[in-house]
Amino acid sequence: MTEPALAHATEYGRMYSRSLSEPPTVPSITTVISQGSTSLDGWHSYMAASAVVKDPKLTAALGSPSQLRSVVKEASSASERYRDAAAQRGTRVHYYCEQVALRALDRPHEVERAREELSARGEHQFADRFDEWWKLYDVQPLAPEITVWNAELGYAGTLDLVARIGGRLCLIDYKTKNTDRDGQVKQLDDKVVMQLVAGMKAQESLVDAGAGIWEPWAYGQSPLLLGVAVGQTEVRPMRANPDVLPQHWFKFCALRRVWQTSIDAVAAGRALLPVPPPPVGAHETPAPQAVPPEAPGPETADPQTSVPAGAPRP
């Protein structure tokens, strides 16, 4: 996949600029969606434990605390290594898919080099299955790797492909997926619907990154939204249910507000302030003051000893 020219890595996540000479101003679609990420603690723990069990140095390390610590330390980063390797593989697969579309449009392409990069790592099956799907579905590409912008909500992103399939306009997002025990490609995450509907709701698409030229978005009128799982055993396209698109759009809008609010919260200043101890003596409880007894009222006076005012005493 060609890196979008206007995308920038920032402390607030991936962001987009309007041209090559301008700073980034809006978050990417994937950055917005990441605001709703769920915890992966369980997966990280599983990957670490699995790495320990599979480490060939484990048996020799059992009798040596220092060697065992080395095994554990290496295993602790297993999930990061897996994630990085998967991301690099996904980039290679996406790049091949993009080159196939460019070739179909009679534009300069590097299909052969992209396939060689996959084959060199034993990943040529991804290309094989993708070619089969491309031919079977008779994909007619219109715009590969197209960058879009929504100024009203404030976000941008890059769609993998706009194409026609069976006469229908389609917005397509590729996801590189592993294969399950049954030999089938693993299921797509529902978050792909948010990604696709955000692309559909774009207002502009990029014409010239250097000059910062944009044009009205031409492919947002009732397209078919397709998440395409690309695996080594099959390619499985899944259609976004049109009945749920409003809810996923509303969720995306809410996550966009979360992203902005998070930045505002940081800019507001320190969230926690130190509390000094109280001054010396401030914690001491003052001694209680004596209260003089009250004179008995007429209701409580002893009738045998009380003498009304002005009356002679006995």
* Domains of the chain with bracketed CATH: 7-266 (3.90.320)
First to last CA, the chain: 117
Mean pLDDT of the chain: 88
Q: Does residue 43 register a pLDDT over 50? A: no
Q: Does residue 75 register a pLDDT over 70? A: no
> Using CA atoms in the order 2, 33, 8, 13, what is the torsion angle rounded to 10 degrees?
-140
Smallest Cα–Cα separation from 155: which of 242, 98, 217? 217
Averaged pLDDT, 249-274: 96
β-strand partners of 29: none
Spatial distance between the Cα atoms of 58 and 155, rounded to a whole number of angstroms: 48
pLDDT at position 65: 77
Q: Give percent above pLDDT 90 in the chain.
A: 69
Q: Does residue 46 register a pLDDT over 60? A: no
Q: Does residue 212 register a pLDDT over 80? A: yes
Averaged pLDDT, 44-72: 66
Q: Does residue 58 register a pLDDT over 90? A: no
User: 205 Cβ partners below 8 Å, 6+ apart?
Assistant: 143, 146, 147, 148, 149, 214, 215, 216, 217, 218, 219
pLDDT at position 63: 66
pTM of the model: 0.77
Each residue of 280-308: pLDDT tens digit? Answer: 877 677 667 777 777 666 655 555 555 55
Q: Does residue 66 register a pLDDT over 80? A: no
pLDDT at position 119: 97
More confident residue, 240 or 48: 240
State the DSSP string of 99-131: HHHHHHTT----HHHHHHHHHTTT-HHHHHHHH
Cα of 104 vs its chain's centroid, Å = 33
Averaged pLDDT, 41-64: 63
Other beta carbons within 10 angstroms of residue 197's beta carbon come to: 23
Q: Give percent above pLDDT 70 in the chain.
A: 79
Each residue of 95-126: pLDDT tens digit? Answer: 999 999 999 999 999 999 999 999 999 999 99
More confident residue, 78 or 57: 57
Averaged pLDDT, 267-278: 94
| Of the ranges 48-57, 67-76, 217-226, the best mean pLDDT one | 217-226
Q: Does residue 40 register a pLDDT over 70? A: no
In Å, the largest CA–CA distance within the chain is 132
